[in-house]
A and B are shown apart, each in its own frame.
Chain A
Amino acid sequence: MTPAADVPAIEIDHLTVTYRDRPVLWDVDVHMPRGALGAIVGPNGSGKSTLLRAALGLVPTDSGRIAILGEPSTKARARVAYVPQREAVDWDFPITVREVVEMGRYREVGWFRRMRRHDREVVDEALERVGMGPFARRQIGQLSGGQRQRVFIARALAQRAELLVLDEPFAGVDVRTEHAVLELLRTLRDDEGRSIVIVHHDLETVERSFDWALLLNVRPIATGRPEEVLTPENLRRAYGAEPVGERAAAAGSWAG
């Protein structure tokens, strides 16, 4: 069932998540439109990763209604590809690049059936798109940070999902990879009409390349087009002090 075109990619109402008695997310509303390249930004500890996890049903919530592409998050799982932060991955695990990308087909193929030719082709295509074709047989730990991230993005591609959710995909990644991945994400939006939301820390890139942004610090501060969201006023409310950078120089204001 394809949802209507005006159904948002992510719709969250009154989401509250606590950890150790403290709210990490507090009465958060999010409405991200479909077919957009969206970013969630905010200072450390603002709940960005938790928001993604809650949206996907991975953390228990205290309250809140969540809809992904018009359906409750557990039902919509098949249409979402999640690229988590790379912290908890075991790099010494005996697994090759190809095997990691194959995991993207597991939901389709199931947990017991063999990979069909179609699946293998999808995997090959995903590997090519991220430029990791020649590295298919390497063990995952032998790659650089940027190469690893490409592999996980290939896995997301292999899932053939309408919504891609990436948590800090550019952390610890070299500039070349960042540009390549951004270009890929733009192509996915433009040519394939997919929705993409990433947690990102670089406000410049967000303002330049993204359609939609959510500025978050436990509570949502602003959402909408990046230029409307990332105003000095809003940034001050989110970060406490405005981050020093070109924007600050242009606006003639100082940090703090």
Chain B
Amino acid sequence: MTFSDDTIIIMTGGLVATGCALLGVFLVLRRQALLGDAVSHAVLPGIVVVFLLTGSRAPLPVIIGAAAFALLCVLAIDAIRGTGLVKSDAAIGLVFPALFALGVLGIDRYAADIHLDLDSTIYGEIAFAPFRTVEIGDALVARSVLIAGIVALVDLVLVAALWRRLKVTTFDPTFARTIGASPDWTSRVLLLAVSVTAVTAFDAVGAILVVTLLIVPAAAAYLLTDRLIGMIVIAVGIGWVAAIGGHAAAIEADASIAGSMGLVAAVCFAVALLLAPRHGLVARRLALTRRRRAAARA
């Protein structure tokens, strides 16, 4: 069974979006959206270092390197915040640019060797996805689809396995500590998963789209529903809408596919922001007017 190039691109995008949505919902709920952003940037030096050390860009070593730098990023932010001298947001804004700067310098120095140019880390090269294939048995499978699929599966398994822990540590961290579920540990695992998802998606969709797919669909879902499972389903749904719509739009506009996918996700969010039945801006304004009228009548 062979798929068209378009289908492969869409599937890659959709699978990346699925993995991101599963994690992103919890990032948004835990007010750690920007930590997810930071971690996604922090993986860049990991990619460079791994290549310099091992000379390969094979998935497994790169994942380990990225995860290592993601962990470094999180620990550094915690340490700086822990001094009590720097606020959380400032700690984030110090660490990830420093790590990213290291990555940029590394690429600049060894660009020729790595075959990694800076632009592709941002834009990704999803257009090339259909052409990178892997042999599985008799079939040629697009590598990006394979990896994105595996990562999405791993994310799903992780979320399912940690479901109760995630719920408790997200909604009541203090209580969670008293029953032995450490919010910090859960956060670290979550962010490690984010880093792995980010680095595997780098190749295909670049850094920014990963961040977009982590935050934007989940944020839109948060406006549309009050139930956790609902949030996840809607976020995944929006992710696929972004993948399909973005691909179509990119062809129309002759622009970056990854960027278009992000843009479609953003449009979905804008629609949700305005029109969500209870939390949307229009609904809130109507409710306010209704209340004022009722109070005036009384």
The chain A residues found within 8 Å of chain B, CB to CB, are 16, 18, 21, 27, 62-63, 92
Contact = CB atoms under 8 A, between A and B. Distances in A.
A41 to B, nearest CB: 26
Contact of B292 (A21, A27, A63, A92): A63
14 contacts: A16-B295, A18-B291, A21-B287, A21-B291, A27-B298, A62-B291, A62-B292, A62-B294, A62-B295, A63-B292, A63-B295, A63-B296, A63-B298, A92-B87
Contacts of B292: 62-63
A235 to B, nearest CB: 28
Interface string B87-109: 10000000000000000000000
Rank and list the top 5 A-B pairs by shortest CB-CB distance, nearest first.
A63-B295, A62-B295, A16-B295, A62-B291, A62-B292
Q: Tell me the interface secondary structure of chain A in the complex.
A: strand
A1 to B, nearest CB: 30
A94 to B, nearest CB: 12
A20 to B, nearest CB: 10
Nearest to A64: B295
A63 B294 CA distance: 9
B221 to A, nearest CB: 20
Contacts of B291: 18, 21, 62
Nearest to A27: B298
A15 B287 CA distance: 18
A21 B287 CA distance: 8
**Interface magnitude class on chain B:** under 10
Contacts of B298: 27, 63
A21 B294 CA distance: 12
Contacts, number: 14
Contacts of A63: 292, 295-296, 298
A63 to B, nearest CB: 4
Interface of B: 87, 287, 291-292, 294-296, 298
A18 B298 CA distance: 15
Contacts of A18: 291
Given A21-B287, A62-B291, A63-B295, 11 more contacts: A16-B295, A18-B291, A21-B291, A27-B298, A62-B292, A62-B294, A62-B295, A63-B292, A63-B296, A63-B298, A92-B87
A92 B292 CA distance: 40
A18 B291 CA distance: 8
A182 to B, nearest CB: 34
Nearest to A63: B295
B285 to A, nearest CB: 12
A103 to B, nearest CB: 22
Contacts of B87: 92
Nearest to A18: B291
A139 to B, nearest CB: 13
A63 B296 CA distance: 6
A188 B296 CA distance: 39
A27 B287 CA distance: 19
Contacts of B294: 62
A27 B294 CA distance: 12
A92 B298 CA distance: 47
Nearest to B297: A63
A16 B296 CA distance: 10
B69 to A, nearest CB: 30
Contacts of A92: 87
A61 to B, nearest CB: 9
Nearest to A15: B295
B80 to A, nearest CB: 14
Contacts of A27: 298
B180 to A, nearest CB: 30
Nearest to B84: A92
